[in-house]
Structure 1
């Protein structure tokens, strides 16, 4: 199985310091849905692992999160793609959970769902250091995108082997061009 794990906000859709709180605020980054479609057409399985502390903060409820994810799925399908799995952390930064990135809990959920022992070599794509740290703990290959918070993240220390791309479309082009 060719698996890729994507962060959501800042990778697939526009990020917001005020949080993405409803489907109207969920705005895809140019080319991201087409990138997902190209990956799917080439046989990739796409998973999304996303921190959603807006739930714990009371900024939106689980049904609204489902509506945002339904919109993402619908728009991806309109481009010929799909997201095969979405896992999210509903907790706040001080809740002490094991799923909030940079902890690896969400990535363990992805591995478990697909009956994998680890994520060795699986591309993990994010715009923040915590996305990359969480994925690499299970052996994922870190890919930083410059969208969202990526330009700021790029200025800091990155996990060894991190590859940096302008956006998800460039990551997909690289992976598909590599015959991976």
Structure 2
């Protein structure tokens, strides 16, 4: 099974200074939905893992979250894309739960639901805590320079070519860096192609 785990806010849709608390506030990032469609076409099943502490803080409720995801799914479907499931943590930080990233609980839930070993799964997101949770869970971590990490691109002016280990010393070892979700999709699909070529024997 080709399964990958994405963050939501700042990866698929625009971040806000507060919270995305209603469907009207959910706005897809340019090219992000199309990137999911290309990943789907390449055989990848996409799952989201997202912190939604606005629920635990009483800023919005489950009905609002469901409405946000209904809008998201409609817009994905309009470009031929699909997200298999959304795993979310509804807790506030003071709840000290096991599922709020950078804890790996959401990733463990995904592995159990899909029966997929985490060591084989790529995980991409714009927030350091998403990448940290992915690494703790054993996934291959990928940082996107959008949303919470967009300022890193602005500081160095060279996108994913920057030395992120210097700029972000908390970044897990081995983290791959990409300009955005579209660039990550390009990288992953190209990596798939290279792997397939390497395993196909040359003709006699």
User: Shared fold (TM-score greater than 0.5)?
Assistant: yes
- The one of 162, 165, 173 equivalent to 2:178 is 165
Partner of 1:120: 119
Partner of 1:156: 168
Task: Return the structure number with greater helix share.
Answer: 2
Deviation string for 1:53-78 (max 9, x for gaps)?
Answer: 00011111101000111111111111
Partner of 1:60: 60
Partner of 2:29: 29
Using CA pairs under 8 Å that are at least 6 residues apart, name the structure with larger relative contact order, 1 or 2. Answer: 1
How far apart, CA to CA, are the structure 2 residues paired with 1:121 and 1:136?
A: 12
Point out the structure with max Rg over C-alpha: 2
Partner of 1:80: 80
Q: TM-score, normalised by structure 1?
A: 0.95
Secondary structure in structure 2 of the residue aligned to 1:34: helix
After the TM superposition, which parts of structure 1 deviate over 2 Å for at least 4 consecutive aligned residues?
A: 151-155
How far apart, CA to CA, are the structure 2 residues paired with 1:145 and 1:64?
A: 27
Deviation string for 1:14-42 (max 9, x for gaps)?
Answer: 01121111111100000100000000011
Over aligned residues, Cα RMSD in angstroms?
Answer: 1.2
Deviation string for 1:61-117 (max 9, x for gaps)?
Answer: 10100011111111111111100011000000110110000000000111011012x
Partner of 1:48: 48
Partner of 2:20: 20
Count of aligned positions? 179
Secondary structure in structure 1 of the residue aligned to 2:29: coil
Partner of 2:138: 139
How far apart, CA to CA, are the structure 2 residues paired with 1:115 and 1:121?
A: 12
Q: TM-score, normalised by structure 2?
A: 0.85
Structure 2 unmatched ranges of 5 or more: 153-163, 194-204
